[in-house]
Amino acid sequence: MSFPADYRAPTDLLQDRVILVTGAGDGIGRAVAKACASHGATVVLLGKTVAKLESVYDEIEAEGGPQPAIYPMNLEGATPADHDQLALTLEGQLSRLDGLVHCAALLPYLSRLKDYEVEDWLKVLQVNLNAPFMLTQALLPLLQRSPEASVVFTGDRVGLEAKPFWGAYGVSKAGVDALARMWAAELESTTVRVNLVDPGPTRTALRKRVYPGEDNSSLKLPESLAPLYLWLLGSDSQPVTGESFAWPTC
């Protein structure tokens, strides 16, 4: 099944569902979180900057969405115990989890591998690859209780193409692609579906950091990607799993 180019998500697509979005304070994560709320979901906003999460929280409430939850977490330093505590908190306060969207990403700079700072390498792999693994593993028991759960990873083709100078970010995104496919294969006989989105060039702070001189006025806004994420999170994409959707060829 391919993503319908003219897809319009029903207003109640995610009614009564709980969706956790990482990197929810900015960029694609913010756009996805707001879109989920506007289609009925109770959204758990996870990110490291409380002020940004509070801003998204206020926007969701102002637009009449279900009251979201804020869960501050710095994925760079989060331990397995921190992820387990997140799972316990969600179980205790919300009793369920129907969707998990991995949008958080770290890309400090472009560099030749021989010049890459080892400390930065470890930080990028921690946020972009280790954290999505640990989060998915910790939250899997909750997801498996849902009659229809969906996990969406966010990839990047620079990883699969092994483009020079993309360093730890490129390696981490290659790993995310493999990780998503592994999870999908291992969960194929369960109620949990796993897919990956490659957003392509998007007008985000992350892209501006590595292309500071770029005229980004022609780049799509993060909100343009929301229909694809909604489709993968909702029933309309059943039984799609183990697939990768690259914008705009998805």
Phi, psi for 20 (deg, rounded to 5): -100, 130
- Paired tokens of 234: 């909702």
Domain boundaries, the chain: 18-246
pLDDT at site 220: 85
Q: Which CATH number fits domain 18-246: 1.20.1260.10, 3.40.50.720, 3.30.160.270, 1.10.3720.10?
A: 3.40.50.720
Which residue numbers are catalytic? 169
Give residue 158's region: left, alpha or beta (phi > 0; psi -120 to 50). Answer: alpha
| pLDDT for res 249 | 58
Q: pLDDT below 70 — which residues of the chain?
A: 248-250
What distance separates the 2 farthest-apart alpha carbons in the chain?
51
Structure tokens of 213? 């001189």
List the one residue out of 66, 9, 3, 6 whose CA is nearest residue 34.
66
Q: At what angle do helices 167-186 and 131-145 cross, to 10 degrees?
A: 20
Strand order in the sheet with 18-22: 69-72, 42-47, 18-22, 99-102, 149-154, 192-198, 244-246
Say whether pTM exceeds 0.85.
Answer: yes
Q: What is the DSSP string of 197-216?
A: EE--SB--HHHHHH-TT--G
| Pairing verdict, β 192-198 and 42-47 | unpaired
pLDDT confidence of residue 1: 75
* Token pair belonging to 104: 């958080």
% pLDDT > 90, the chain: 86
- As a whole number of angstroms, the distance between CA 135 and CA 144 comes to 14
